[in-house]
Amino acid sequence: MTILQIIFIIIFWGLICSFISLAPWVPTKKSDLERIHKLLHLQKWQKFLEIWCGTAQVSLYVANKFPEAEVIGIELSPILYVFSKIRVFFSGQKNISIIFWNALHLDFSKYDVLYVFGLPETISQKLFPKLEHWLKEKAYLLSYCFQMKNNAFIEEKFKEKAEWNSIYKYSQKAKS
C-alpha cells in the first residue's frame, strides 16, 4: 500500500466517521457569533468546550473575546482537525487547543461552558445521556439552532424577531 493510499483511507475514514457519528460539517453562521458572545459568561480560567469544532471558527472567536479563559475544540474529521490546528497556529491565540478525538468519549465534567451545533436527534439521543451524567453544577450548554429533547435541564430559548434561528441554553436544575 502506498503512502498516498494510506492518506486517502485516513481522510475518507474520518469524513465518513464524523458524518455518521453526529453531524456533517456545516459551520455556525459568522453573523451569529456576536449573539453567542452575548450568551457567554466566561470567567478567568473557566473552560469552554466546542464539542464538534469543525474549522474552529467559534472556538477562535471565543478565545479572542475571553483571553483569560481556556478554550478547547474537539473534532473527529482529520481534514478539519488539521485545518483547525493550522488556523489556530497562525492566529497566534494562546488560550486555545484543538483535540482530535470522538467527542462522545470525552469527560464533560471538566468544562464550565459547552457549545454544540449538531442535529436534533444526535444531540438528544447521543449527547444528552452523557451530559445528564457529566455536566457539572453551574455549567451550561449552548445549542446552536437545535433543541435537545431532555427532562433533566432548564431550557432557555434565545431568538429575537429579526433572527432566523434560535440558540438554546441548558443548565442544571437547582438541587433540592
Size of the site for ligand SAM (CB under 6 A): 23
**What is the torsional sign of CA 12, 17, 23, 28?**
negative
Neighbours of 157 (CB within 10 A): 10
C-alpha count within 13 angstroms, C-beta hemisphere, residue 144: 24
CB of 22 to ligand SAM, least distance (A): 3
Write the binding mask 7 to 46 for ligand SAM: x where contact by CB under 6 A, - elsewhere. -----------x--xxx-xxxx------------------
80 forms part of the interface with ligand SAM (CB under 6 A): yes
CA distances from 33 to 37, 39, 138, 150 (A): 6, 10, 23, 25
Give the residue with the Cβ less far from ligand SAM, 27 or 67: 27
Binding site for ligand SAM (CB under 6 A): 18, 21-23, 25-28, 50, 52-54, 57-58, 74-77, 80, 102-104, 117
